[in-house]
């Protein structure tokens, strides 16, 4: 196996994106994504069975499209990589089954890796070619997860500082959008509505930010109380026969989410004396989150890295990139003895190491 610039195909099926990525070393050759998001829209959120069925149908055409785009053939590959977890179990299993059979068929090594660490690995594929500097704090925000990580080394040492205790931030956007009568997915809708609103109009609560919470949940997040507060505020207006100022509600809600995300991430940077913050996950598409993070990080002397959005949302390239890093650092492949692990801890960067 080429361990200097391995050619790796990555398979990612942890949620509603079927992601096939191909990388050579740290160079991105293809980032092919088939999303079933439209199929979930009418249900107001990701339906696991719908997502899993869509993965099965999208896998083969996505692999073929990725190979064509990268202009390589399967026999050229040095390794196959797959997300073992965390994520939706039924969705993950499609990718795991596919990756194992592909690896056996090709006689190539298989690397089973952690989805969250994959989000961090996406950064090695950014065009500037600069390697990730360690340690770095990473804030991963999506519809499926909200995690604050301390990364001392991408391939050996990733620590979970905190995560959401209830809803993921992206889920909170979807739910609040729904109660404002806006369609799924909620993120872009809230953003559009918020453009005309005042972010300081309504003082929505910042979850797990009181002094008493900060002792035990300094880096954890909670968005379900915020969602309820927004619902209550909107209901009271409606019940009183008043108009709901959708722009102000959206802007104030978004501000509460962004504030707590950025505050806790920068707390971690300060507490661990780490002047670097990496952002990842689909919610990073939210411009307000990026702007506030950049502005407050600059004031705190923290350098922010944000991979291109196509590498922030769930994708197979990040899975291939993580495997590529593992290969370049000399790590052996995974055995075939692993499954989908919907709650895989972030400390398990690679599973079933031989």
Partner 1 sequence: MFLAIDTSLGTAVAVVEDDGVIAAQATSSDPRGHAEVIGTLIQRALAEASVDASAIDAVAAGMGPGPFTGLRVGIAAARTFALGRGIPVIPVASHDAVALELLLFDALAGGFQDAPDEPFAVVTDARRREFAYTVYRGLDADGLPVRVAEPALTPRDDLDGILETGSILRRDAEAIPAGMLGLVAARAVAAGRSVASSDALYLRSPDVTMPHGPKKVTPAAAAGAGAADGGTR
- Binding-site ranges for Zn ion (CB under 5 A): 142, 314
From 65, 74, 300, 328, residue interacting with partner 1 (rule: CB under 8 A) = 74
Is 228 a binding residue for partner 1 by CB under 8 A? The answer is: yes
Q: What, of Zn ion, partner 1, none, does residue 239 touch, CB below 5 to 8 Å by kind?
A: partner 1
Smallest distance from partner 1 to CB 305, Å: 34
Measure the CA–CA gap between 289 and 262, rounded to whole angstroms.
8
Q: Closer CB to partner 1, residue 11 or residue 149?
A: 11
47 binds partner 1 (CB under 8 A): yes
Give which of Zn ion, partner 1, none residue 217 binds (C-beta under 5 to 8 Å, depending on kind). Answer: none
Between residues 142 and 252, which has the closer beta carbon with respect to Zn ion? 142
The only residue of 5, 34, 72, 97 in contact with partner 1, by rule CB under 8 A: 97
Q: Please identify which residue in 34, 65, 179, 294 interacts with partner 1, judged by CB under 8 A.
A: 179
Least Å from the CB of residue 314 to partner 1: 18
Name the residue among 170, 168, 188, 190 with its Cα closest to residue 179.
190
How far apart CA 32 and CA 310 sit, in angstroms, is 10
Give the pair of three-digit tokens for residue 269: 């940077």
- Give the ranges where the chain is alpha helix by DSSP (H): 37-41, 48-70, 89-106, 115-121, 169-179, 186-194, 211-216, 224-239, 246-271, 287-300, 309-312, 316-328
Q: How far apart are the C-alpha atoms of 18 and 218, rounded to whole Å?
A: 34
Return the SS3 of 182.
coil
Interface stretch with partner 1, choices 40-48, 124-132, 266-274, 304-312 (CB under 8 A): 40-48
Separation CA 264–CA 273 (nearest Å): 14
**Which of residues 60 and 347 has its CB atom nearest to partner 1 in the complex?**
60
Residues in region 235-264 near partner 1 by CB under 8 A: 235-236, 238-241
How many residues touch partner 1 under the rule CB under 8 A: the total is 52
Per-residue H/E/C for 252-269: HHHHHHHHHHHHHHHHHH
Residue 314 binding result from Zn ion, partner 1, none, given CB thresholds of 5 to 8 Å by partner type: Zn ion
34 contacts partner 1 (rule: CB under 8 A): no
Residue 261: contacted member of partner 1, Zn ion, none (CB under 5 to 8 Å, by partner type)? none
Query: CB within 8 A of 280, min separation 6: which ones?
Result: 119, 120, 122, 123, 138, 139, 140, 141, 307, 312
Q: Report what 53 binds from partner 1, Zn ion, none; CB cut-off 5-8 Å by kind.
A: partner 1
């Amino acid at each position: 196996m080429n361990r200097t610039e391995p050619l790796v195909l990555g398979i990612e099926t942890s949620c509603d994106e079927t992601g096939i990525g191909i990388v050579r070393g740290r160079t991105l050759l293809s980032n092919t994504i088939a999303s079933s998001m439209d199929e979930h829209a009418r249900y107001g959120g990701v339906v696991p069975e719908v997502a899993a069925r869509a993965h099965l149908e999208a896998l083969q055409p996505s692999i073929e499209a990725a190979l064509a785009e990268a202009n390589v053939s399967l026999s050229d590959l040095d390794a196959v990589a797959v997300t073992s977890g965390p994520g939706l179990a039924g969705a993950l299993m499609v990718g795991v089954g596919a990756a194992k059979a592909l690896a056996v068929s090709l006689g190539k090594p298989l690397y089973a890796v952690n989805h969250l660490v994959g989000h961090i690995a996406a950064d090695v594929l950014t065009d500037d070619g600069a390697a990730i500097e360690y340690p770095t704090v990473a804030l991963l925000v999506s519809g499926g997860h909200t995690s604050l990580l301390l990364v001392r080394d991408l391939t050996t040492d990733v620590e979970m500082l905190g995560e959401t205790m209830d809803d993921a931030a992206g889920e909170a956007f979807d739910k609040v959008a729904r109660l404002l009568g806006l369609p799924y997915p909620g993120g872009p809708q809230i953003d559009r509505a918020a453009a005309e609103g005042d972010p300081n109009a309504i003082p929505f609560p910042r979850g797990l930010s009181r002094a008493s919470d900060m002792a035990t949940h300094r880096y954890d997040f909670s968005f379900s109380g915020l969602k309820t507060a927004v619902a209550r505020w909107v209901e009271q207006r409606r019940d009183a026969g008043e108009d709901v100022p959708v722009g102000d509600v959206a802007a104030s809600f978004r501000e509460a989410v962004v504030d707590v995300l950025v505050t806790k991430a920068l707390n971690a940077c300060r507490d661990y004396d780490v002047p670097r913050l990496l952002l990842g996950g689909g919610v990073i598409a939210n411009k307000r989150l990026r702007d506030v993070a950049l502005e407050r990080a600059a004031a705190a002397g923290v350098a922010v890295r944000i991979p291109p959005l196509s590498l922030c949302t769930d994708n197979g390239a990040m899975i291939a990139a993580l495997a590529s890093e593992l290969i370049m650092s000399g790590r052996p492949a995974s055995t075939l003895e692993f499954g989908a692990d919907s709650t895989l801890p972030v400390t398990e960067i690679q599973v079933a190491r031989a």
